[in-house]
Structure 1
Amino acid sequence: MDVIQIDSRRQVAEEQGVELGDLLVSYLRQLDVEYVFGVPGGAIEPLYNALARSERSGGPRAIIARHETGAAFMADGYAHHTGKLGVCCATTGPGATNLITGVASAYDNHTPMLVITAQTALSTFGRGALQESSCTGINTVGLFEHCTRYNTLVSHAEQFEHKLAAAVMTAFQAPAGPVHLSVPLDVMSSFSSTTEPSFDLSKLLNKPHYVDNEALDALYEELVTARNPILLIGDEASESVGSLLSLAVKLGAQIITTPHGKGLVSPYHPLFKGVIGFAGHESARKALLDPEVDLVIAVGSSLSEFASSGWDQSMLMNNRLVHVESAETNLTRSPMARLHVRGHLESIFENIVERLEHEPRLTICSVDDLVDGKKSSQPAEKGKHFEVMEPEKCKSDATPIKPQRLMAELPKLFPPCTRYMADSGASLAWSIHYLHPFDRRMAGKRDAHDGLYRTCLEFASMGWAIGSAVGAALARPGSPVVCIAGDGSMLMSGQELTVAVQEGLPVVFVVLNDSAYGMVRHGQKLTGAEPVGTELPFVDFSTVANAMGADGYVIQSPEDLLSLDINKICSQGKPTLLDVRIDPEEVPPIGMRTDALKSYGQSEQDCD
């Protein structure tokens, strides 16, 4: 663009306002959003022009993904680890459709995300324009309808601010989730009637904290009269986890987490009995089956299949359950619960903890009491207080390396503040069961976005962790980020490694390399299915990483792993890939899933 064009543009802007792309970026700056993740294209060019101008002035800037799905995964990771709005964008047609898997994952993850897609110019609708995706073409607004919480076409510049405000407010409502604005090329490049945002979105998002006082009183009575309570913590309890841990300590209540929630609780907590559900721990199952347990408080969990051991009625889904949620939709999963409590989770449990300080019916204990064994069923020992399967394999020196040993060693090698993202597949099962971040926080105030382990378990998209790790690294500069993925995931989405290279992010990609879709292969064996479609060609991912500009290492034995210079890896300004040649014969802890598949298949046969 030459000087005459720039001067002309400035004159128009002064007279008519700013382009909608610039106005959108001003709103993102208002929300303290730093990055917009996406892939550029002709129809979305006005937004990228605005982002280029914004970057020059120190405002939000573009992070260029290699695939639009990866962009959505990155926005998911950024949003989760900052509490801010995740933003991703794509051009019209295939750019928009490529976003859908990542947006659907954010929908199931309850991640607040603004999705901006382009359309061809309004005047071309219905005429077969290149990549037309209007209601007369490949209707992308229609395609996003069932994986967003707000979804609309902006057909006129005058609609833009109101629809943007409605979308962003909806993204943060409970349950949070992605919202979608589809903006035609000519609308995004048109001028607004104002040069500044008309609304203060940060104030609009500052909502009062509602609590059902009657239900809160009932919850308090349940807690103080329970003989042997259990707290079940899901990932949506992150805002209240400090108060929940304080509550557990005061009551001497056992703690269990869902697979999603495991990163919120120290595995060294004397009350922690492990993870329930998919790839969970026998100690957690035993705790829930204990007939002496008379109360189970589930907090921040949708109680989905993997979080409830397949909706097991003997363990969890019965009238011992009290379900505490901020999202009404989560409560629809537990109609059998004897009490539902709705409201802001941190407000609820801060109130409970404060009231317990003055409760004459209880002997309140401390962490020191628990360690000394004064309020627990048995004296606490140093280390973990839950059971894993085949613990001897966590110490095995065998080559190829056992995945159990790999997972046990990672938290010992990396700093305590390391965040782990686990991708779908066998790596998910191995990490849920055997990877335990070195977190020794027992109680007290916590950062709501400080969980050390995260996965995408509901929609379970392969490749999610690869993009999410990039977003997390941008969200938390200085904190190590480890992405655990299988070779199948890397072949599907591994190109996003180059985003970490380009941005200078020291993300560590740990690839479980067994030349197979491992979870599927073992699942077929366990269910008696035909062994088909699981073999992958051998790939030297360390060489691939080197070719992409990252450092690559081959790990075949525990000795190879322990010889790594982790301090150097975490401090250098580029990513590292560990190509871990795991023992392919080790069966991941996926029994809950395979048992369910067998039972569903048997049920279908019974109906024939």
Structure 2
Amino acid sequence: MPADTLLSTKPAYRPTAAELIVEYLETLGIDQVFGVPGGAIEPLYNAMAVSMRRGGVRPVVARHEAGAAFMADGYARETGRVGVCCATSGPGATNLITGVACAFDNGVPMLVITGQPTLPVFGRGALQESACTGVNTLGMFEHCTRYNTLVSHIDQLETKLVQALMRATQSPPGPVHLSIPLDLLRQPLSPRLRAADLPVLMRRSQAVDSHQLAQLLDELSRARRLAVLVGGSCGEAMPALMRFIELTGASFVSTPDAKGLINPHHPQYRGVLGFAGHDSAQAALRGDTDLVLAVGTPLSEWTSAAWSDAVLNHRLVHVDDNDDHLRRSPMARGHVKGHLRSVFERLVQALQAQAPHADDGHWPLLQTGAGLPPTGLSLRAPEQLHSEATPIKPQRLMNELSRRLPPTTRFVADAGNATAWVVHYLEARNNRRLGLVRQGPAAHATAGTAPTERRRDRAGWLRVLTEFAPMGWAIGAAVGIASGQPACPVVCITGDGSYLMNGQEITVAAQQGLTVIFVVLNDSALGMVKHGQRLAGAEQVAFELPDVNYAALAEAMGIPGVVIHGPDDFERLDMDEILQRQGPTLLDVHIDPEEVPPMGLRMQTLEGRGASA
């Protein structure tokens, strides 16, 4: 038989389902998968082992599956890629659900892969069976995913994987779930999609509703004083959005989850609106402001100041690409649906055409914001920022962290009091004006001397939760953020209650050599519960935690730990040495347990006053 005939009959390479999944992840630039291995998902780990040897996808082993989902969440926020987590069948899958639900409510793109026993044993009482004939994990994921399916035949695998990845990244983004039986993960298949086509299929639409945009331009032409509420979905749009704000001279405020997207020292910034926010932000939306743009925000409890009438009124125009968000503002004067960056790039073009910038490179202010008076942020207890008291005041701690960390630091705050203190008091030591890029000779005078860094969509110097907010999220998320960007330090600010839930994930940072500083707010209490009970006049019960030496706990894991009692202890820290360490450090900070966090908005809602406040 001729040689060319022999060559033509050689069977083509047919990857297994697990190998194809890993090849797809490589194509998308996803280099890490967070999870806990198990028998029902072993082929996926085998495929990652091969990929890792060629510099591709590597597994990161979490200590609990919820931690793996939190890590995938942090990785996605930092890199702009899809976060991937995986678990075995049964309890491995159910342990993921809290982290997946968190990603669902916060709009984080995530691919969730869980195993199943082999198809022939469905319904026969196989160990950890979690199909429709067992504990139905597929049914559980139905309510917290954008796409959720069991792969029941090998020919479904590629199509369902592509559909899942597309649904994860397109509006509204969120987690997707594939449940795959063990025998299918091992089975070979013939791919039909060209790998190069996958990123194109996943690309989000750049569309803008031109009619709605024209209506907004008309509103802007008639407005005398404009205010902008910047939401957490604005990451990719920030350069254009900030050019729009400077061009119009508008005052602007941020939701808690958008604080990390802006420069808190900008002269037109008026603070955080919503949970633990500032009175100056409320004031900026009231008074003689006659047009409010809410951009990229769901207008939920924490992002609308408990549905405040400062936002939800006839002066509002809601700009978003998420139908779920737009449905929450039926009372608004107008809605603009479209890709946020494209919307504001087109607005800037239109406004520049109406008022071309001057020869000196400055944009003249339009009538909407002319004469805007400079005002500082209204802090609840500014005197505590410099308090010398011991135990250290939480406000002083936030000031020290703001002052001592470099501009490239990523801060992440856990649910509870940690979020309240961070949202109200933490600042970035950061001259970089995210999105503030002026053209012309005045540019360098306003930009500062700090090195600039082009941020990806969703990234910022601070990340907090505003919707589904589980305790311990920040601990795993910090590991995921550091995994996605190991060149930048990460600071996780968490409470002692959260640390007791998920603190074991610190050992992942140690094993991976990640520079993460875990700051534990130690007051031996579930702080938000304790202070909430006091403020509400409720029974003081079930908030106490044991007195734990968290620094010693870290040392027992081979991780440097430092106890901080007062400001002097913090001053003695060698922060440079901590930041140069290839691995985590834990700061066990004994805060003043009697300092009440700025949580009045939450109390207002719990008492039933939120919707009318």
The question of a shared fold, defined as TM-score above 0.5 by the shorter chain, is answered with yes
8 Å CA contact 2:355, 2:364 repeated in 1: no
Q: 1:358 aligns with which of 353, 357, 362?
A: 353
In structure 2, what is the equivalent of residue 402 of structure 1?
A: 393
Gaps of 5+ in 1: 1-12, 604-608
Are 2:294 and 1:298 aligned?
yes
8 Å CA contact 1:161, 1:198 repeated in 2: no
SS in structure 2 at match of 1:200: helix
Matches within 5 A, 1:14-33: 17-33=14-30
In structure 1, what is the equivalent of residue 430 of structure 2?
A: 439
Query: How far did residue 205 of structure 1 move?
Result: 1.5
Are 2:550 and 1:541 aligned?
yes
Q: 1:335 aligns with which of 324, 327, 330?
A: 330
Q: Which amino acid aligns with 1:308?
A: S
In structure 2, what is the equivalent of residue 573 of structure 1?
A: 582
8 Å CA contact 1:33, 1:60 repeated in 2: yes
Q: Which amino acid aligns with 1:299?
A: V
In structure 2, what is the equivalent of residue 275 of structure 1?
A: 272
Distance 1:178 1:489 in 2: 23
SS in structure 2 at match of 1:512: strand
In structure 2, what is the equivalent of residue 508 of structure 1?
A: 517
SS in structure 2 at match of 1:151: strand
Q: Which amino acid aligns with 1:487?
A: D
- Identity of matched residues, %: 53
Distance 2:266 2:485 in 1: 25
Distance 1:487 1:58 in 2: 38
Q: Which amino acid aligns with 2:129?
A: E
Matches within 5 A, 1:59-70: 59-70=56-67
Give TM-score scaled by structure 2 length.
0.92
| CA pair 207-462 structure 1, distance change in 2 beyond 3 A | closer
8 Å CA contact 2:212, 2:335 repeated in 1: yes
Distance 2:13 2:374 in 1: 73
Q: 2:303 aligns with which of 299, 307, 318?
A: 307
8 Å CA contact 1:41, 1:90 repeated in 2: yes
In structure 1, what is the equivalent of residue 141 of structure 2?
A: 144
Q: Which amino acid aligns with 1:352?
A: L
C-alpha deviations, 1:524-556, integer Å up to 9, x for none? 000111111100001100011111121110011
Moved more, 220-229 or 434-443: 434-443
Query: How far did residue 361 of structure 1 move?
Result: 10
Q: 1:172 aligns with which of 163, 166, 169?
A: 169
Q: Which amino acid aligns with 2:294?
A: A
Distance 2:314 2:253 in 1: 18
SS in structure 2 at match of 1:46: helix
Query: How far did residue 225 of structure 1 move?
Result: 2.4
Distance 1:543 1:293 in 2: 53
Matches within 5 A, 1:207-246: 207-246=204-243
Q: 1:478 aligns with which of 484, 487, 506?
A: 487
Q: Which amino acid aligns with 2:93?
A: A
| CA pair 152-549 structure 1, distance change in 2 beyond 3 A | same
In structure 2, what is the equivalent of residue 517 of structure 1?
A: 526
8 Å CA contact 2:529, 2:543 repeated in 1: yes
8 Å CA contact 1:16, 1:194 repeated in 2: no
| CA pair 33-355 structure 1, distance change in 2 beyond 3 A | same
Distance 2:320 2:204 in 1: 17
C-alpha deviations, 1:164-184, integer Å up to 9, x for none? 000000011111000000000
| CA pair 16-294 structure 1, distance change in 2 beyond 3 A | same
Query: How far did residue 358 of structure 1 move?
Result: 2.1
Distance 1:193 1:237 in 2: 40
Are 2:518 and 1:527 aligned?
no
**Structure 1 runs of 4+ with >4 Å offset:** 13-16, 194-199, 360-370, 600-603
Distance 1:159 1:356 in 2: 50
In structure 2, what is the equivalent of residue 325 of structure 1?
A: 320
Distance 1:335 1:208 in 2: 24
SS in structure 1 at match of 2:424: helix
| CA pair 365-475 structure 1, distance change in 2 beyond 3 A | farther
In structure 1, what is the equivalent of residue 600 of structure 2?
A: 591
SS in structure 1 at match of 2:336: strand
8 Å CA contact 2:234, 2:458 repeated in 1: no
Moved more, 331-340 or 193-202: 193-202
Q: CA RMSD in A?
A: 2.2
Query: How far did residue 499 of structure 1 move?
Result: 0.3
8 Å CA contact 2:170, 2:203 repeated in 1: no
Give TM-score scaled by structure 1 length.
0.92
Gaps of 5+ in 2: 1-9, 438-453
Distance 1:428 1:481 in 2: 16
8 Å CA contact 2:44, 2:185 repeated in 1: yes
Distance 1:573 1:484 in 2: 19
Distance 2:463 2:518 in 1: 15
Query: How far did residue 220 of structure 1 move?
Result: 1.6
In structure 1, what is the equivalent of residue 477 of structure 2?
A: 468
In structure 1, what is the equivalent of residue 180 of structure 2?
A: 183
Query: How far did residue 99 of structure 1 move?
Result: 0.1
Query: How far did residue 450 of structure 1 move?
Result: 3.5
Q: Which amino acid aligns with 2:295?
A: V
